[in-house]
Structure 1
Amino acid sequence: MKIAKSFLLIVCLVLFIISMTISQPSHFYGTEFDVRVINGFTNNSSMPLVIWCSSKQIDLGGRALQEHDDFSWRVRTNFWDNTHFLCTMKWDQKRKRFDAFKAPKDTYRCGPHRKCSWLVKEDAFYFSNNEVNWTKDFSWS
């Protein structure tokens, strides 16, 4: 009797996993997002915007972005939905660390096209999920 209950429990668990994999595959395999950080400064030809991004598992390294240059990468959310990429920005004497992508908040905020874009300007950091409408998210200080 005990073996039959254990077997039934295992069968139910396997069927549940199979049904979840079919009905919500992104939960198990992750959803991909495009993350892009753009140098939106109007005149910084002598001083690039320096960016360094990483997660707990991946170090994307650093870049020096001239005017209108960008740094982009793809993010795949994990099973626990806690994927998190931090970037440090440096320009002249200013330095700012920010969440370039943080699930689950950005899972919704990046919209149906899963596009998470940042425009960094002299005054602030702007966010968009379509690169047409930009919203000021936070300032340098």
Structure 2
Amino acid sequence: MKTPKIILLLLMLIVISLTIILTSILQPQTMSLGEEYDVRVINNFRDNSSLPLVIWCTSPQGELGGRALQEGDDFEWTAKIDFWSLMAVYTCTMKWDSVRKRFEAFKVSRDSNRCGSTKKCSWSVREDGFYFSNDEVYWTKDFSWL
């Protein structure tokens, strides 16, 4: 009676292994365990010297902290990819005057490819929205404040 259970278990292991292999072949990832990504959020407001941009960020492991960013200031950290963080999301809450916006500053499934070979994931926060870049030269607007 134990033989059918062993056969069933082996079949399940084979199916799971084939699924993992086929997924990696059909959807190759440039990310690998142990890689590190530099995440940077920059206050690129034109003139907010009297009104700072307040940022507070969290990681899957806990608080990253935050601070009030004056014009041109930044807040940065390193996101390290390990087995437990393959689905990780690093979020930041931004506050500017009476407006608040929570956004995913680094999401492994989204950013491991778009941060490129430099492994730089930069955000430029402006009056009209949030812009992403992996080289801090070319910026693409991802979303608005509202």
TM-score tier, shorter chain, comes to 0.7 to 0.9
The CA deviation at 1:93 is 1.0
Looking at structure 1, the residues matched to 142 and 32 of structure 2 have their Cα atoms a distance apart, in angstroms, of 28
TM-score (norm 2): 0.76
CA RMSD between the two structures: 1.2
Secondary structure in structure 2 of the residue aligned to 1:99: strand
Alignment partner of 1:95 is 2:100:
yes
Q: Which residue of 2 aligns with 1:67?
A: 71
Q: Which residue of 1 aligns with 2:124?
A: 119
The CA deviation at 1:75 is 0.6
Q: Which residue of 1 aligns with 2:144?
A: 139
Looking at structure 1, the residues matched to 128 and 109 of structure 2 have their Cα atoms a distance apart, in angstroms, of 27
Secondary structure in structure 1 of the residue aligned to 2:111: helix
Looking at structure 1, the residues matched to 49 and 70 of structure 2 have their Cα atoms a distance apart, in angstroms, of 6
The amino acid across from 2:112 in the alignment is T
Secondary structure in structure 2 of the residue aligned to 1:104: helix
Deviations 1:70-124 (A, max 9, x none): 0011110121511210000000011000000001210001001100000000010
The amino acid across from 2:43 in the alignment is N
The CA deviation at 1:62 is 1.6
Give aligned pairs, total: 115
Written as runs of structure 1 = structure 2, the 5 A alignment for 1:78-89 is 78-80=82-84, 81-89=86-94
Check the 8 A contact 2:41/2:122 in 1, yes or no.
Answer: yes
